[in-house]
Structure 1
Amino acid sequence: MAKVQAVDKQCPVELGLNILSGKWKLKILWHLSKGTIRFNELQRLLGSITTKTLTEQLRELEEQGIEVLY
């Protein structure tokens, strides 16, 4: 799960690190930055990630308002 901290008086870099923390989020965003990709293809590209973990990570990114623009 993502770390949640109050946004007031928090360093923007620290906020970004908290949002993108973990083993998978940066890898997920890197693959998504290349264009539209289906869930199963993303899972295959990531290798050893489980369906549950990928789903949770994508939901967290969505809840945090992270958008991939390409």
Structure 2
Amino acid sequence: MKSRIETDGYGRKKVIDACMEPCAIERGMRIIGGKWTGSLIYHLKDGPVRFNDLNRMLGGATKKMIDQRLKELEARGMVLRTVINDRPIAVTYELTELGRSALDILEDLRLWSEKYNIR
């Protein structure tokens, strides 16, 4: 449904027929647009990575933030978590097929950012 803007008798603008559901771009951005999410996906592109290695790769992200983002990605079916050792606990994370499908989008974003020197 396409929305339109109307102005009432007092000059106030009002959106008519606005979509109540988020559009496809907004839904996609909710998944890969979160802080550190795109970077996590990018760093998992070459195969399984251990949590502490991801922490080093992301530099400015806290362990708590990385853990939250990984749990979100796992819940959405984009990342697979595998326990490789119980004592001490060691886990790896890797992209699922769905997670890998986001790599093309992130690569296009990287190229666009470099082309226009976005800071």
TM range, smaller chain:
0.7 to 0.9
| Alpha-carbon distance between aligned partners in 1 of 2:32 and 2:65, rounded to the nearest angstrom | 15
Q: d(CA) in 2 for partners of 1:12 and 1:64?
A: 16
TM-score, normalized by length of structure 2? 0.47
Identity %: 39
Unaligned runs of at least 5 residues, structure 1 = 1-8
Q: Which residue of 1 aligns with 2:50?
A: 38
Distance 1:27 1:12 in 2: 21
- Bigger RCO of structures 1 and 2 (CA < 8 A, at least 6 apart): 1
More strand by share: 2
Matched residues, number: 63
Give the secondary structure class of the aligned counterpart of 1:49.
coil
| Match status 1:55 vs 2:63 | no
Point out the structure with max Rg over C-alpha.
2
**Structure 1 stretch 36-45 or stretch 11-20: which is displaced more?**
11-20
Unpaired runs of 5+ in structure 2? 1-20, 80-94, 101-119
The aligned residue for residue 35 of structure 2 is: 23
CA shift, 1:10, in A, is 4.3
Counterpart of 2:49 in 1: which secondary structure? coil
TM-score (norm 1): 0.74
